[in-house]
Amino acid sequence: MLLRSSERLDLDLLVLPDTNLLLFAAVVEPLRGANRISGSELYRWRVLTLEGLPVPTTSGLPIPANGPFDREPDERPLFVLASYNWRAAASRDLRMRLSRAARYRSLIVGVESGAWLLADASLLNGAKATIHWEDREEFALVHPQVDLIKDRFVIDGKRITSAGPMPTVDLMLEIIRRRQGETLAFEVGRLFSYERATSLSEPPPAPSGTRKVGDSRVSRALEIMEGHIEQPIPLSRIARRLGVTSRHLQSLFRQSLGSAPHAHYLALRLNAARRKVIETQSPLVEIAADAGFNSASAFARSYRACFAESPSETRRRLLDRARPPTDR
């Protein structure tokens, strides 16, 4: 699940009673955003509950279920979502179901109080894990066999834990980053005016339009790039504005984002164009100009190299998907 891939990833979400809606949205909405921005179904999820019935949430709004969490072998990653009153669900039967799932599932993720349920089923023994800050002291006393870490989320082999709704957004963006790259994760975060914490142990920062990264010069370069999509600024000029050389800017980007500045800039422009291709009926030549391309052919070449299809093919594919099936 955490390796670079363009294949669709199917997930199972086991939602326990009294999960809060924000926690559920923290898992689902970044995945939905990744699908929307990419124009492809990169992620698909099923909602499971203990009995296959809608599950009540703390807000009183039930979450519909696709089915029950059963004992059948399944390799899909399993996310266990729990917030309040998790002990009411911590039955011997659930422990057995989780233990059986651990034999087959490629990954099991404890989201907030879901970590309690994984530990209760002995699935975190010897593993590094995290938990909501309110529960740290009690969790450490009850489960000394778990290496409790004060981080927003922890990935330790086939076990992942997160410490609450906002840390779960961090986790989902990290999954997207590892699978589809930094730029898509960046764009998904921007959908929610969300900034990822520069340190996993930091509290969530106040949101704004641009994600802050460890180096302020890279953050400023990102702001400049985002403000000049239609008329791209040469990287040498951006470097001069920041008081660094072009080579140093390259180095800063690779250290902070793992990609070259020209590649990130191009991806920002192409993602902006792809949204218009998907969500509007604007002429492609107009979209190309809005993304800073001198010609429709140059835009089409870059678009195909990035998305493995032409802009017109994207529109055709989405039109075919939306068209109702015909009786034969």
- pLDDT tens digits for 22-49? 999 999 999 999 998 888 899 999 999 9
Is the separation of the CB atoms in 212 and 205 below 8 Å? yes
Residue ranges per domain, the chain? Answer: 9-179, 215-322
pTM above threshold 0.95: no
| Three-state SS letters, 59-94 | CCCCECCCEECCCCCCCCCEEEEECCCHHHHCCHHH
Confidence (pLDDT) at 202: 47
Q: Which residue has the higher pLDDT, 133 or 328?
A: 133
Residue 201 Cα distances to 78, 162, 163, 171, 198, angstroms? 25, 11, 10, 13, 9
- Name the band, by pLDDT with cuts 50, 70 and 90, for residue 197: low
Is pLDDT above 50 for 207? no
Average pLDDT along the chain: 89
Name the band, by pLDDT with cuts 50, 70 and 90, for residue 326. Answer: low
- Dump pLDDT digits (tens) for 50-73: 999 999 999 999 999 999 998 788
Q: What pLDDT is recorded for position 259?
A: 86
Q: How confident is the model at residue 214 (pLDDT cuts 50, 70, 90)?
A: low
Assign domain 215-322 one CATH number from 2.30.30.830, 3.40.50.970, 1.10.10.60, 1.10.287.1080.
1.10.10.60
Give the separation between CA 211 and CA 52, rounded to whole angstroms: 39
Higher pLDDT, residue 183 or 100: 100
Could you tell me if 154 and 102 are in contact, meaning their C-beta atoms sit under 8 angstroms apart? no
Average pLDDT, integer, range 85-111: 94
pLDDT digits (tens, 9 = 90+) for 301-310: 999 998 889 9
pLDDT of amino acid 122: 97
At 203, the pLDDT band (50, 70, 90 cuts) reads: very low
Q: Which CATH superfamily is domain 9-179 in?
A: Class I glutamine amidotransferase (GATase) domain (3.40.50.880)
Average pLDDT over residues 214-218: 85
15 or 324: which leads in pLDDT: 15
Single out the residue of 167, 155, 183, 152 nearest to residue 37, CA to CA.
183
The arithmetic mean of pLDDT across residues 234-255, rounded, is 94
Percent of residues, the chain, with pLDDT higher than 70: 91
Q: Which residue has the tokens 């764009």?
A: 187
Mean pLDDT of 244-254: 94
Tell me how far apart the alpha carbons of residues 68 and 49 are, in angstroms, rounded to a whole number.
5
Q: What is the per-residue pLDDT for 192? A: 80
Handedness of CA 250, 4, 222, 274 (dihedral sign): positive
pLDDT at 152: 94
Contacts of range 66-72, beta carbons closer than 8 Å, 24 or more positions apart: 69/12, 69/14, 69/97, 70/97, 71/97, 71/100
Structure token digits, residue 290:
């809005």
**Residues 208-215, mean pLDDT to the nearest whole number:** 53
pLDDT at 141: 95
- Which carries the bigger pLDDT value, residue 80 or residue 258? 80
Dig out the tokens for 63 from the structure: 């979450």
The lowest-confidence range among 1-5, 152-156, 248-252 is 1-5
Strand arrangement, sheet containing 108-112 = 67-68, 43-49, 9-15, 78-82, 108-112, 159-162, 153-156
Query: Which amino acid is residue 30, in one-letter code?
Result: P
Give, in order, the Cα–Cα distances in Å from 319 to each of 37, 270, 278, 281, 325.
Answer: 16, 20, 10, 12, 12
Vertex 177, ends 172 and 182: CA angle to 5°? 135
Residue 221 CA to residue 242 CA, distance in Å, equals 8
Residue 208 has a pLDDT of 32
